[in-house]
């Protein structure tokens, strides 16, 4: 449902960013999915007007957004923190070219690594590139700052980095909606000295980047995005983003300078605010603000008392101040009106592949082949865990094939070298490494786990899916043709539910001299539609308790406390079984049988 103006609505930070972009009349919105950024584009797609699309990867997303901006249309590119590493090449030089119409880059960082392979503080990218950095502290600011970021981008002819963290991205808050500000579309203005970064042109733009930073510094010193809450306390706190809420909660009486723009910094304003008081910097992740202020000669303390690892919590802030001899105020408990009652922690559950996940059997085959498996990032990374335990490396998106090439080159692998990569990841950044494998005649097998979707981040389409973000039909990249066109001679497509066929395909690929590709071709059982085929059950008395089926790691199969005729047996939970047949194929006793009288369940 499209939201109308002059209303206050509850929005998560990501939805608020989408609303801000919509109010700023964004024309082109691009991105690549990744927690905690994914919902921005999904929320933007609900509004009519803009061209909203998932791109093949973050660099392509930023290239498309930059092209649109050069063409005179406001554009936004969204990504998670590691996505900006992928887009960094473009990002760094966009600081030189500047923009046509407003260009905003959203980086949603994941301190604590709820769903990421590392934690990195992407504020440093703004300093690195020399571009302005906005850090919203709640949903209202997420909307307002996004909108303002387009204006700043145009006023100062610069891309703007909008950076926030998981709590802001996923926490809901009341947001007052605004009107949509229609934008003129001037079209592309040819200007090679600005847009063609030949060394001679780039050298000429370098001083422009620094001059712009100077102008931005004057702007920031005056900006209303810096809020000073002076309460006359003996200590002073400089903070930004979500940490502002935590400081207010823990020390309601302390004087706070809350930053909205964190690069460049309003150094003189902060110096005046600190005014010789004991000044604390409370910030999540690295000592980004602290180092900048120390560098400017403002004596502050921060990471001496507050953690630099993981997500900051109000408790961390309270403890930090307590260590510094300040406050000592406990956070209010639920009884004292401190919010939700503290619920008992849920028992830890190891993450597992879904029942019927088509990724399980290829990894069983790889393990049986004693392959050394360079893995990649996606749902299938869970194959590194028990019971599959069939992945030996996993570093960053798209690394698997290149790492397999290197492992093969090392001569140190103890078995056939294999790369295992999902379809979205292959299209994101696997293709160049496959070309490298071909050109270096690397003796590797590449297993492309094609489930038709970007499952890990919630089922977004990708260039092989055949749909657009808004669900319209689109041309789909054919992976077989793509691999053949790259020069791979041995390409085989196999049904991952057919255990025998998968084993044969892996064996043949391993025997092939040079790079070989095996593509598994079953759709994800959860997205875009839930696949629920006739479920299986265990025939009473037929199970011999061998537990072979437990090796699949299917959560529908349990080895619990079920006994039959004095023998402990497995059970299949028919309510979650998707009917993939894999356990029935594996069972040496023929103990798995389809449930009789089954009818398709809703969503099946």
Ligand X SMILES: Cc1ncc(C[n+]2csc(CCOP(=O)(O)OP(=O)(O)O)c2C)c(N)n1
Contact between residue 551 and residue 387 where contact means Cβ atoms under 8 Å apart: yes
Smallest separation (angstroms) from ligand X to the CB of 508: 24
559's tokens: 């080895």
62 sits near ligand X (criterion: CB under 6 A): no
Q: How many CA within 13 A on the CB side of residue 15?
A: 16
Residues 61 and 56: their CA atoms lie apart, in Å, by 7
Identify the residue among 83, 159, 173, 535 touching ligand X (CB under 6 A).
Answer: 83
Residues 247 and 245: their CA atoms lie apart, in Å, by 6
Q: Binding segment for ligand X among 76-84, 140-148, 411-419, 467-475 (CB under 6 A)?
A: 76-84
Identify the residue among 397, 401, 407, 469 touching ligand X (CB under 6 A).
Answer: 397
Q: Which of residues 14-33 bind ligand X (CB under 6 A)?
A: 32-33
Smallest separation (angstroms) from ligand X to the CB of 395: 11
422 sits near ligand X (criterion: CB under 6 A): yes
402 sits near ligand X (criterion: CB under 6 A): no
Contact between residue 158 and residue 99 where contact means Cβ atoms under 8 Å apart: yes
E strands of 435-553, at which residues? 444-449, 490-494, 516-520, 536-538
Residues 567 and 406: their CA atoms lie apart, in Å, by 49
- Contact mark string toward ligand X, 430..449, x via CB under 6 A: -------------------x
- DSSP labels for 181-219? -----------HHHH---HHHHHHHHHHHHHHHHHHHHH
Identify the residue among 96, 164, 321, 380 touching ligand X (CB under 6 A).
Answer: 380
Identify the residue among 21, 86, 371, 525 touching ligand X (CB under 6 A).
Answer: 86
Contact between residue 591 and residue 544 where contact means Cβ atoms under 8 Å apart: yes
Residues 226 and 603: their CA atoms lie apart, in Å, by 50
Nearest to 207 by CA among 125, 95, 91: 95
Smallest separation (angstroms) from ligand X to the CB of 479: 11
122 sits near ligand X (criterion: CB under 6 A): no
- Contacts for 137 with CB less than 8 Å, ≥ 6 apart: 168, 240, 241, 242, 244, 245, 258, 260
Smallest separation (angstroms) from ligand X to the CB of 421: 7
Identify the residue among 139, 165, 226, 425 touching ligand X (CB under 6 A).
Answer: 425
Residue written as tokens 């398709």? 600
Identify the residue among 20, 36, 378, 579 touching ligand X (CB under 6 A).
Answer: 378
Residues 419 and 409: their CA atoms lie apart, in Å, by 14
Smallest separation (angstroms) from ligand X to the CB of 521: 13
152 sits near ligand X (criterion: CB under 6 A): no
Residues 200 and 189: their CA atoms lie apart, in Å, by 20
Identify the residue among 122, 424, 443, 578 touching ligand X (CB under 6 A).
Answer: 424
82 sits near ligand X (criterion: CB under 6 A): yes
Smallest separation (angstroms) from ligand X to the CB of 31: 10
469 sits near ligand X (criterion: CB under 6 A): no
451 sits near ligand X (criterion: CB under 6 A): yes
- In the chain the first and final C-alpha atoms are separated, in Å, by 26
Residues 503 and 497: their CA atoms lie apart, in Å, by 11
464 sits near ligand X (criterion: CB under 6 A): no
373's tokens: 């498996």
- Contacts for 184 with CB less than 8 Å, ≥ 6 apart: none
Whichever of 135 and 423 has its CB closer to ligand X, that residue is 423
Whichever of 50 and 354 has its CB closer to ligand X, that residue is 354
456 sits near ligand X (criterion: CB under 6 A): yes
Identify the residue among 25, 423, 482, 592 touching ligand X (CB under 6 A).
Answer: 423
Residues 321 and 314: their CA atoms lie apart, in Å, by 11
Residues 529 and 483: their CA atoms lie apart, in Å, by 27
364 sits near ligand X (criterion: CB under 6 A): no
323's tokens: 């260590």
Identify the residue among 94, 298, 373, 377 touching ligand X (CB under 6 A).
Answer: 377
Whichever of 240 and 454 has its CB closer to ligand X, that residue is 454
Identify the residue among 122, 255, 454, 556 touching ligand X (CB under 6 A).
Answer: 454
Q: Binding segment for ligand X among 44-52, 216-224, 405-413, 450-458 (CB under 6 A)?
A: 450-458
34 sits near ligand X (criterion: CB under 6 A): yes
36 sits near ligand X (criterion: CB under 6 A): no
Residue number closest to ligand X, CB atom: 422
Residues 536 and 432: their CA atoms lie apart, in Å, by 42
Whichever of 264 and 452 has its CB closer to ligand X, that residue is 452
Could you list the residues that contact ligand X (CB under 6 A)?
32-34, 80, 82-83, 86, 117, 377-380, 397, 422-425, 449, 451, 453-457
């Amino acid at each position: 449902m499209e939201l109308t103006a002059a209303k206050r609505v509850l929005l998560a930070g990501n939805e608020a960013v989408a609303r801000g972009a919509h109010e700023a009349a964004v024309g082109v919105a691009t991105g690549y999915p990744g927690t905690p950024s994914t919902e921005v584009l999904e929320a933007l797609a609900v509004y009519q007007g803009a061209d909203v699309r998932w791109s093949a990867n973050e660099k392509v997303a930023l290239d498309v957004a930059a092209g649109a901006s050069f063409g005179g249309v406001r554009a936004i590119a969204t990504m998670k923190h590691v996505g900006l590493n992928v887009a960094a090449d473009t990002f760094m030089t966009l600081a030189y070219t500047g923009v046509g119409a407003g260009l905003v880059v959203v980086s949603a960082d994941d301190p604590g690594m709820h769903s990421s392979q590392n934690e990195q503080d992407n504020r440093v990218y703004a300093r690195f590139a020399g571009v302005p950095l906005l850090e919203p502290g709640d949903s209202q600011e997420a909307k307002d700052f996004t909108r303002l970021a387009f204006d700043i981008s145009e006023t100062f002819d610069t891309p703007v980095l909008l950076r926030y963290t998981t709590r802001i991205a996923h926490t809901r808050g009341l947001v007052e909606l605004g009107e949509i500000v229609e934008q003129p579309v001037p079209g592309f203005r040819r200007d090679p000295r600005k847009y063609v970064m030949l060394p001679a042109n780039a050298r000429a733009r370098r001083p422009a980047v620094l001059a712009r930073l100077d102008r931005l510094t004057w702007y920031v010193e005056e900006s209303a995005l810096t809020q000073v809450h002076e309460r006359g306390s003996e200590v002073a706190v400089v903070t930004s983003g979500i940490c502002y809420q935590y400081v207010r909660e823990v020390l309601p009486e302390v004087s706070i300078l809350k930053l909205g723009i964190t690069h460049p910094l309003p150094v003189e304003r902060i110096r005046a605010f600190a005014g010789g008081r004991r000044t604390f910097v409370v910030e999540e992740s690295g000592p980004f603000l602290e180092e900048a202020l120390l560098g400017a000669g403002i004596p502050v303390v921060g990471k001496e008392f507050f953690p630099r690892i993981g997500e900051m919590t109000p408790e961390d802030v309270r403890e930090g101040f307590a260590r510094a001899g300040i406050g000592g105020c406990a956070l209010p408990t639920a009884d004292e009106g401190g919010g939700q009652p503290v619920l008992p922690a849920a028992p830890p559950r190891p993450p597992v592949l879904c029942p019927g996940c088509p990724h399980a059997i290829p990894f069983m085959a790889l393990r049986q082949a004693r392959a050394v498996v360079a893995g990649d990032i996606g749902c299938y990374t869970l194959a590194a865990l028990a019971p599959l335990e069939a992945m030996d490396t996993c570093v960053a998106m798209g690394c698997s094939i290149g790492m397999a090439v290197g492992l093969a080159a090392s001569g140190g692998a103890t078995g056939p070298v294999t790369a295992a990569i999902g379809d979205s990841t292959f299209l994101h950044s696997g293709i160049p490494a496959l070309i490298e494998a071909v050109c270096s005649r690397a003796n590797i097998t590449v297993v492309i786990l094609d489930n038709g979707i970007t499952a890990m981040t919630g089922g977004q389409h990708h260039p092989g899916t055949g749909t657009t973000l808004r669900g319209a039909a689109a041309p789909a990249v054919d992976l077989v043709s793509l691999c053949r066109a790259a020069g791979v001679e041995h390409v085989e497509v196999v049904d991952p539910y057919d255990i025998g066929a998968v084993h044969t395909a892996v064996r043949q690929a391993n025997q092939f001299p040079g790079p070989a590709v095996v593509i598994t071709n079953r759709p994800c059982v959860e997205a875009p539609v839930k696949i629920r085929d006739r479920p299986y059950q265990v025939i009473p008395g037929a199970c011999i308790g061998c537990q072979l089926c437990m090796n699949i790691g299917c959560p529908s199969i349990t080895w619990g406390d079920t006994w039959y005729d004095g023998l402990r047996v497995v059970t299949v939970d028919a309510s979650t079984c998707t009917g993939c047949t894999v356990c029935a194929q594996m069972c040496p006793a023929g103990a798995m049988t389809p449930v009789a009288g089954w009818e398709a369940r809703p969503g099946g």
